[in-house]
Amino acid sequence: MKGLSLLHPADPQQLDKETLRIYEICDGCRRCFNLCPSFTTLLDGIDRHDGHVAKLTPADHHRIVDECYYCKLCFNHCPYTPPHQYEIDFPHLMIVWKKRLAQERGVRWRDRLLIKTDLIGRFSSLAAPLANRLLANGLMRRFMEMVVGVHRDRQVLRFSGETFSRWFGRRAPAVCASGPVKKVALFSSCLVNYQATDIGKATVQVLEKNGVEVVVPEQRCCGMPNFDVGDTQAIQQAARANVASLHPWVSQGYDVVVPTASCSLMLKREYPELCRDEQTKRVAERTFDVCEYLMKMKKDGQLATDFTKKPGRVAYQIPCHLRDQNIGFKSKELMECAGAQVEVIEKCSGHDGAWSAKTEFFSLSMKIAAKAVRAIEQQPADLVATDCPLAGLQLDQAGASAHAGGKAALHPIQIVRDAYGLRCDE
């Protein structure tokens, strides 16, 4: 974007001018037509005004921004991203607009609450049986919809009574007689820590199976949820805290491995843009998605291939935030190493954390997910897989699990763990 920064409030006139410039280019290109709700609204609005971008109303602009859930698919789809002379970065334009609208309209307390993932996770895990019962109770969900604005039908991942970090802290570390092949500082994510704990366990088990020493440094939410309200200062704070914790391990020769796509994207891509210092850059350079890391080990001849169970046919939905990393289909390749037959589903799940939980966007999110489910329906599959636990939840709710014998979607690392014949470590 020309002259706009994520770090500082934009001059309203400059933002309006840059927005119209980008919208004009999008209108002429239309490659992102029907890619996401924001582009449908944008292009339909332009057509409604007979091609006059300048006639888009404030209500049009606000809807375009509100419907953006930062999947970032348009960035990879766009032929005009930097270093092109047009310098189109539509996702960042939306974040600048979210910052502006937060100042002009304010931020609802519901929106501020839903992005406090560490706080919600900490308290819900402390009372996990009660929290899970309440979230499954129809009366409570109707009350939450009325008071909080969280849709009554939005399924949520169950909270674990034992967090991943607590599980890791109580277990005996694996000992390799010849010394570790590699050393990893695991950034587990708040989602894995409080809810999808088995993904963290499977990650540790598979890494240790391959002779990798694993540590879990102190960490907090990566900050991705704050994009929903344009709070880039909060993301900077999260970046500084996590980099301060991870950098000492990187300096000792550890790589940073992340099992969730949104968090690895934050450490790799977003942190260096928001915090332009050498420590952040160094951590970003040494950060890997877990399947990317294991395929890197395979390339170096270090991946154990003594798999004992074949996973069968897998319909694999690749998350948008993994596609944005431009690393290829490493999860697919890893599952194929384990003997799986994998069909890739390149359709967005439409979940995006808090966005799809809100009453005003839930139905739209399920409409987006239906496209992925239709693609899964066309593939004979024994399992459904995705690297994002929330995408898996969304696909299950939209009906994907019905096409895999009723089995819930798994993370590829869980499928690989099972293929090794490793026992699910409770």
Residue 324 DSSP label: T
Question: What pLDDT is stored for residue 178 in this prediction?
Answer: 75
Does the predicted model carry a pTM greater than 0.85?
yes
Question: What pLDDT is stored for residue 108 in this prediction?
Answer: 93
CB-based burial, 13-27: b 16+ in 10 Å, e otherwise: eebeebbebbbebbb
Question: What pLDDT is stored for residue 403 in this prediction?
Answer: 79
Question: What pLDDT is stored for residue 140 in this prediction?
Answer: 96
What is the spatial distance between Cα 317 and Cα 323, in angstroms, rounded to a whole number? 11
How many residues in total does the chain contain?
A: 426
Q: Can you tell me whether residue 44 is helix, strand or coil?
A: helix
Name the amino acid, one letter, at 329. F
Terminal Cα distance for the chain, rounded? 48
pLDDT averaged over consecutive 10-residue blocks of the chain (426 residues)?
Answer: 76 93 96 92 94 93 95 93 94 95 93 95 96 96 95 96 95 76 96 97 97 97 94 96 98 98 97 96 98 98 96 96 96 98 96 93 95 92 96 92 85 98 78
What is the spatial distance between Cα 385 and Cα 388, in angstroms, rounded to a whole number? 9
Question: What pLDDT is stored for residue 179 in this prediction?
Answer: 76
Question: What pLDDT is stored for residue 379 in this prediction?
Answer: 87
